[in-house]
Amino acid sequence: MTARLGIVGSPVAHSLSPAIQGAALRAAGVDATYERWETPLDDLPARVASLRERDCLGANVTIPHKQAVLSLLDDVAPLAAGIGAVNTIVNDGGRLAGHNTDGGGFVAALEEAGFTPSGKRFLLVGAGGAARGIAFALRHAGADIAISNRTPERAQALAGAVRARAVPFAASPAPYDCVVNCTSAGMHGSGAETVLPVDPAASDPGALIVDIVYAPEETPLLRAARAAGRPVLRGLPMLIHQGALAFELWTGRPAPLDAMREAARAALSRNEP
């Protein structure tokens, strides 16, 4: 029996997950398909209930449902409960367990790039869902974290949740070992393609500049960081590693990272404007 997986959200038409996970399933020899499951909010309870069927391994969850699914699950992993958001659901014999692999994927991408977060000073720019997942994972990894946001109250709320510091949005990035853009600035279609969330030239000369935006791969922030001579990390590795962690939760097998990277870059190249 061919098993089913998919991504639950709205919209999901442009998600890279079907390409990435489809390639992973083929490379690992798993008899399963991965589909786009467009799901308006009113249809979410029925969609989640369908994940309990015997042929379903689980699903990814994306905007706007990462928080709404929590009440529909049987179990939620401690990290996901702390974050207050789920991006991966696993069907275990009809019981649904929620996980969050976003932050773990970010830390894995850092470590793959040779940057160990323990003891390092991080500035997260933004305080939305992505920043929340990353902040919790970095705290678990032993990092020192500061958070800035255009709305100071949001930065303060997240900082309080992860025992971090809230700093002004215009604060200098100079004291930090790593500066992470957790906003949508620079994303295709965001309307903010030329706005830099932080000035990389003002950072420490050895600071790693990270942009979690993966489309385009080379964002305005990363171009400015390269021009200033700073090391950079793109958003695509985080996407691949969070997908790899989800794959392992569903299948119990090591994720075929090379196949996932190749599929992600091929999908991005097809979607380039």
Check if 120 is active-site: no
Joined tokens for residue 122: 């991080």
Task: Encode pLDDT of 79-124 as tens digits.
Answer: 999 999 999 999 999 999 999 999 999 999 999 999 999 999 999 9
Task: Encode pLDDT of 16-73 as tens digits.
Answer: 999 999 999 999 999 999 999 999 999 999 999 999 999 999 999 998 999 999 999 9
Q: From start to end of 18-160, where are the E strands? A: 32-38, 56-61, 75-76, 88-92, 95-99, 121-125, 144-148
What SS3 class is residue 255?
coil
Q: Is 168 exposed, middle or buried (0-12, 13-18, 19+ CB in 10 A)?
A: exposed
Q: CA 155, CA 127: separation in Å to the nearest integer?
A: 6
pLDDT of residue 194: 60
| Prior bond of 200 cis (ω within 30°) | no
Active-site choice (65, 66, 234, 241):
66
Task: Encode pLDDT of 143-202 as tens digits.
Answer: 999 999 999 999 999 999 999 999 999 889 999 999 999 988 767 655 544 678 899 999
Q: CA 209, CA 203: separation in Å to the nearest integer?
A: 9
Task: Encode pLDDT of 222-240 as tens digits.
Answer: 999 999 999 999 999 999 9
Give the chain's end-to-end CA distance (angstroms, integer): 39
Contact between 202 and 196 under an 8 Å Cβ cutoff? The reply is: no
Residue 5 has pLDDT above 90, yes or no: yes
pLDDT of residue 270: 81
